[in-house]
Amino acid sequence: MKLFTWISLTALLGATGAWKLKAGNQEWSGTTLPNPACQSVLIPRGAQISWKGSHGATTVQFFNTKGSCKQVYRTVAGQGDINASNTLYGFMVKP
């Protein structure tokens, strides 16, 4: 069911960037890149993170320095599941 919903969403959106980020009980999604680009979040160490991105939003970058989105801590492209080995304070969706 989840795969069908994801495929349907991306098919309906065509060339726009559909993306979905889930960490524990928190969830973010969109059909365009977030504005501002760097989203401030609090994802605790050990949280299970799931990422799915398509077309114009294929990559997510995570930052582990509070208040700063200058040094990338981890990058996930396309889709994938990871564990937060550090507390994360921000993310940025990229084409």
Q: What pLDDT band is residue 93 in, cutting at 50, 70 and 90?
A: very high
Q: How many CB atoms lie within 10 A of CB 10?
A: 18
In the chain, where are the structural domains located?
2-94
Residue with tokens 């760097």: 38
Query: Which has the closest alpha carbon to 56: 83, 93, 11?
Result: 93
User: Any idea what DSSP says for residue 47?
Assistant: -
Could you tell me how far CA 16 lies from the centroid of its own chain? 15
**Structural fold of domain 2-94:** Gamma-B Crystallin; domain 1 (2.60.20)
Reported as a single tens digit per residue, the pLDDT across 28-60 is 999 999 989 999 999 999 999 999 999 899 999
pLDDT band at 11 (very low <50, low <70, confident <90, very high): very low
pTM of the model: 0.80
pLDDT > 90? residue 79: yes
Closest CA to 42 of 84, 89, 91: 89
